[in-house]
Amino acid sequence: MDIVLRGLHVALGELSLLFIIWALVEVAWGPLGRGVLRAKIASLTGTILIFAHWLVSGWYYVAYYGPEVKPIIKAGPWPWAHAIFMESKEHIFLFLPFLALLLLFLIWKHGDKLREERGLRFSIFAVGGVTLFVFVLMITAGFLISSGYRIAVP
């Protein structure tokens, strides 16, 4: 079961990131008509995937990471991979659903103004930029944490 959850954790994270990027690319074009619809669908899908990711990753974290992976990393040569990066990752991740909801709202509520209102596009890129930054932190921390595990297991 843990391998399924770990796979879903990575897949949902990457898919949600892709959909958020897709939404921002659509907004960057100053969309009309079908472009607005695509931006809305991409932001909605990205947000739903982030919430699904929260559920699946939380399950994996509580059921498997805490009891099985964490003690190995902490006893290994890279204990900071858990103490700094996992602890930061699990808490900073909690920002993502709220940032995604803001992005979703801006795109859905003001979809008809995406082309002409530069101020609106600024807000979408600012919120979207922080969202992407959090994703980059998650990926980087994930790489260090899994490396901390691999290096601890001969």
Partner 1 sequence: MNMKYNPFQFPSLSLAAMVAIMAIVVMTLVAELNGGFKGVLADLTGHHWVSKGLLALGIFLVTWLVSALGLKGEPQKTRAWTLATVGVSLLGIVVIFLFYSVIF
Interaction site with partner 1 (CB under 8 A): 54, 58, 61-62, 66, 80, 83-84, 87-88, 90-92, 94-95, 97-99, 101-102, 105-106, 109, 119-120, 122-123, 126-127, 129-130, 133-134, 137
| Distance of closest approach, residue 44 Cβ to partner 1, in angstroms | 15
Helix (H, G, I), strand (E, B) or coil at 134: helix
| Distance of closest approach, residue 84 Cβ to partner 1, in angstroms | 5
Q: Which is nearer to partner 1, 13 or 154 (CB)?
A: 13
Please give the C-alpha separations between residue 56 and each of 24, 79, 116, in angstroms, as whole numbers. Answer: 25, 25, 39
| Distance of closest approach, residue 123 Cβ to partner 1, in angstroms | 4
Main-chain dihedrals φ then ψ at residue 26, nearest 5 degrees: -60, -45
Q: Which is nearer to partner 1, 98 or 143 (CB)?
A: 98
Please give the C-alpha separations between residue 113 and each of 31, 39, 69, 106, in angstroms, as whole numbers. Answer: 9, 12, 48, 10
Q: How many Cβ atoms are within 10 Å of 59's Cβ, its own excluded?
A: 16
